[in-house]
Every structure is written in structure tokens, then in C-alpha cells.
Structure 1
Amino acid sequence: MTSPVDITTLAHVLRRAAQMEILPRFRRLGSGDVRAKSEATDLVTEADERAERMVKAEVSRLWPEALFIGEESVAADPALLDKLPDADLAIIVDPVDGTFNFASGIPAFGVMASVISKGQTVAGIIFDPMGDDWVLAERGSGAWLRRPDGETLRMRVTQSVALEDMVGMASTGFLPKDKRAEVMGNLAKVRYSTNYRCAAHEYRTLAGGHVHYLMYNKLMPWDHLAGALISQEAGAYVRRFDGSPYLPHHLDGGLLVAVDKDSWELLRREVFTV
């Protein structure tokens, strides 16, 4: 399926925003440039807001028919999300994914965008400002690492392994309290589990063939639509906890990503028993 939005053009929009509004502020944020939103670790910075405004202006110019949904736009107007299910075309942007890392001076953050057409995610882009490259996918066309000089490499997930040999990332902080301890105990069954506090880099790591699973409970579209599509196009099995496909309008139900269906079912049964 070809995206109605040229993803190379959109990818360069994200890169320009990072170069102009994000990177110049990395490790240079003033005391008034960082604010908490829902909790102390849920942050927004001057870089998030300025980058989103720049991307929104470019999207409005290039694709005026598209509904624009950005993380900071929704923070200001939550009703924006209600428009997504009925939109013929939408572009969803996370201007700085991994804001906690960015604000802490940790170089693990990204810029993400997804293209939604008639209720389906048809394209996803994850830009790494520090590495200056993209991981991107169009539905049915594979997942690709692309560098600014034009070099392009196909991305594929790794092969499956036994449960005790699996490594991956699990975001347990948003699990219900009565299930968090159980899941964290179950994670002793795998070889290694971590959390980058940055979905952009976690999805890139899985699509690049370096880990076997990802798990999330909180599903905001700017955090997961691009990465879920990229993971699928790299060969991963992506489903909500109940086994149903993950769609753009889903805000709950959890998400488990594994290198294949058998691994997904094993992890769901033995580890992520929510």
C-alpha cells in the first residue's frame, strides 16, 4: 500500500525540525524550558513545543487536507484525538519521544511520525537526531534504515529463541498496580529485560534484529503507531494483549511485540499475564 503522503518528504521535515529546534537545545535547556505535565517524569520542553509547531506548519503547507495530531497539540486540546477515527487522512507526530531522556541530557530520544489513511496506519517514520538517520516503512513495503546520503538497508527482526534466552524491553510503569509485581516477577523467566524510556529507540532496536520482544500498556498513538508498523514490516508479530490487531484509534488494551507468533504466545502466557 502506497502512502498518500510522500514519506521521504515527511522524513526530511522531521530532520529539519530536529536540526533547528531540538538539537540546539540538547543539554542547553534553561530552568524555565522544562515543565511537568501529568507527573514528575512526564515532561515537556521548549524543544518539544517549538519542533511540533514547525512540523505542523510544514504539514499544513504540504498536505493541507490532513488532520494533524501532535502530542503537545493534544495536551492543549484533548478533543483532537476524537477526530482521528473519522479522518480520511491524518499525520500523527511525536516531536521528542523520550523527553525525560532529552531533558536529562541522555542522548536517547527520537522524532516520530505516522500516516493514517481511512483508519489504517500506512506509513511510519522514526528519526534519530543523534545518529542522523531514519527507520521508516510503508505498509507492505518492508522496513528500512535510510541515511541522508541515500544509503538504504533492509531491516529484519532476529530469529526466535527459547524463553530463557530472550532479551527485550518492557514498560511496566503503566501496568495496573495489582499486576505490576506479578509481571516483574515473571520477567525473571527471560534472559534480560530493560527499558530505554524511549519507544523510538526500542522499536528501532527490535526492527534492527537486536531484541526479541517489546511490551507497553499505555497506548498513545504518537508513541506506538509508527513503531508498530515498522516492527510488522520488519517481520514482527504485533498484537494487543487480547490478540487483536493494534489500530490507530486504540488507546488501551496493551501492546506486545515479538519476533514471531509463537514467541508472542509464549511471552503472553508465561510473562505478560495482565
Structure 2
Amino acid sequence: MNFDPQDVCRAIDDVAKQEILPFFRHLDADDIFNKGNRDVVTMVDLRAEKALSTALRKIAPASAVIGEEASEEDPNILNSLDDDRPFWIVDPLDGTKNFIAGRPVFAVIVAFCERGETQAGWIYDPCGEVMVHAHKGGGAWLGARPLGISDNLSPSQSTASLGPGMRKRLHAHTHARSGDRAPPPEIPERIVRYGCCGREYIDLALGKIQYAAYGGNLNVWDHAAGVLIHREAGGYSAIFPHEAPYRPQRYRHGEQLLLAPSPPSWASFRQKLMP
């Protein structure tokens, strides 16, 4: 990267202050639109993505930008994932439904990619004014403080982010094991889902969440930055069933991204979810 990562932090902060926070809990009905995939978008998403894309192109003039909302309008933009030139991946307002409902659980996510790999990532919680960021080989940071994920909690003391399907799998596995003579497996004490991947990745990097499983389409704007930050903080993640490292690319529906504090705890977590 031939730019200052702090320039990206400043760009994200500026967009949050100018295009996002002034409209939090001040949206009109006309500011909210339905997207084709039964999701919603607001004029805040659109304005923030436009402003952030402009700022990022100035930071790295030769780069492309893959924005969530622009990609919704023109799926061909995702072809930049296969280009040789560097590109940004932007989710200008992750957690749009929370934003609309007035819940302070949303984030701005930015990743910078080259040669098919995520080279840097930034996730910002505008309400909490929390910025976590990382660049490949340089560690993960909360502002100027280095982050390190610990693997010293037992599963029964941990927190996991799971969707409804994975929750059912976990509990079905637990009940099946409790019916034989083997001791029931330890499962996470607390199961959460924020409705905002960015905020979950912040808490994964801070050690507030120990495990997570994501499926569906594995959209790059949800995961490219967060996986790098988690990895640089010392965590382990892989795509199931291949156990291949995550890369910013298209994934088939049904492939799962699992995150854990370490390779052994990842294997144990995978076994509980998909025995």
C-alpha cells in the first residue's frame, strides 16, 4: 500500500460525521427504499457510499471501488474482484435495519485488496466512536492499542454469534450427545446476533465474542475487512467444508465462514456445528 492508513480512518470519520450521524433517528419515511433482494436501503447508505468512494479514490487514485449499494444496482461491478488492479470494498452503513429502527448498532466497513487478498481493513462504530483496523502482517489495532485474541476461555464461558439455523444444529448436537453415556459437549454460554457484521467483528477482535459462523452469500463487504482484522489480532478463520482461508471473492450459497480464537478451538467449534 502506498498511502497512509490513517487517511482512511480520517475519511471514514468524516463521512460518519457528515453523512450518517446527523440522520440517525431523524429519517423520514421517504428516505427509506426497498431493494430487490427483500432488503432495505436508505438515502444515508447511498450518500455515505458516494462520499466514501470519492474519498478513497483520492487516497489511491488507481483503485476501483466495490460498494454494496453500487453493486446492487450493477452486479458487474463485482467483476473488479477478479481484476489485477487494487480495489476497495465498502459497506457504508452495515446494519441498515438497526439504523432505521433507531438502534445504535451499525458500522462503516472498508477493505483494501490487491492480488486477490485483503491487505487492510477498517471497521468503525460511529455511535461508540470505536475504530478497529489492521493491515496484513502489521497486527490489529484499536486506535493506537494493539489487539490480541485470547484462547483462555472454555466454550461454556464463551459467546458465539450464530444465526437461527446454526443455533438449531448446535442444540440438536448437544441433545443427541446428552442421550448417550458421554458427557454433553460444552457449548457457548451466550448466543448473539447483532444484525450488523461490522459490530460483531469489532467484538470478535476485542474478545467480547469468541466464535462466529456466517453463511448465506458471504458478501465481501460484510467480511473482507473483519476477517483480516480478526486474523491479525491472532484469531483463526476458515471456509467450511474446505477449511480454506477466506479470500475476497464470490462464494457458493451454503459455504460457511467459521471464526474462533485458534485452530484447535475452530476444529472443536466446527465439530459441534457440523458433526
TM-score, scaled relative to structure 1: 0.89
* Distance change in 2, residues 1:145/1:187 (3 Å): farther
Offset at 1:251? 2.7
Gaps of 5+ in 1: 147-151
Matched, 1:197 2:195: yes
- C-alpha separation between the residues in 1 aligned to 2:174 and 2:4? 40
| Corresponding position of 1:51 | 48
1:126 match: secondary structure: strand
The aligned amino acid for 1:111 is V
- C-alpha separation between the residues in 1 aligned to 2:137 and 2:64? 23
| Corresponding position of 1:128 | 125
* Distance change in 2, residues 1:159/1:182 (3 Å): closer
Say whether the 8 Å CA contact 1:143–1:155 is kept in structure 2: yes
Identity %: 34
* Distance change in 2, residues 1:6/1:272 (3 Å): farther
- C-alpha separation between the residues in 1 aligned to 2:78 and 2:171? 32
Matched, 1:231 2:223: no
| Corresponding position of 2:273 | 271
Offset at 1:116? 0.2
Higher alpha-carbon deviation: 6-15 or 231-240: 6-15
Offset at 1:271? 1.9
Say whether the 8 Å CA contact 2:12–2:108 is kept in structure 1: yes
The aligned amino acid for 1:182 is R
Matched, 1:162 2:154: yes
| Corresponding position of 2:182 | none
| Corresponding position of 2:205 | 207
1:13 match: secondary structure: helix
The aligned amino acid for 1:52 is E
Offset at 1:104? 0.6
Higher alpha-carbon deviation: 82-91 or 215-224: 82-91
Say whether the 8 Å CA contact 1:157–1:234 is kept in structure 2: yes
* 1:1-274 correspondence to structure 2 within 5 Å: 3-38=1-36, 40=38, 42-146=39-143, 152-172=144-164, 181-183=168-170, 185-186=172-173, 189-218=187-216, 219-242=218-241, 243-252=243-252, 253-272=255-274
* Distance change in 2, residues 1:84/1:167 (3 Å): same
- Once the two structures are superposed, residues 141-168 of structure 1 have per-residue CA deviations (whole angstroms, 9 ceiling, x without a partner) of 111011xxxxx11111132433333312
1:22 match: secondary structure: helix
RMSD, aligned CA: 1.9
The aligned amino acid for 1:268 is R
- C-alpha separation between the residues in 2 aligned to 1:44 and 1:183? 32
2:49 match: secondary structure: helix
- C-alpha separation between the residues in 2 aligned to 1:185 and 1:63? 49
Offset at 1:211? 2.1
* Distance change in 2, residues 1:54/1:239 (3 Å): same
- C-alpha separation between the residues in 2 aligned to 1:129 and 1:190? 29
Offset at 1:87? 3.3
Gaps of 5+ in 2: 176-186
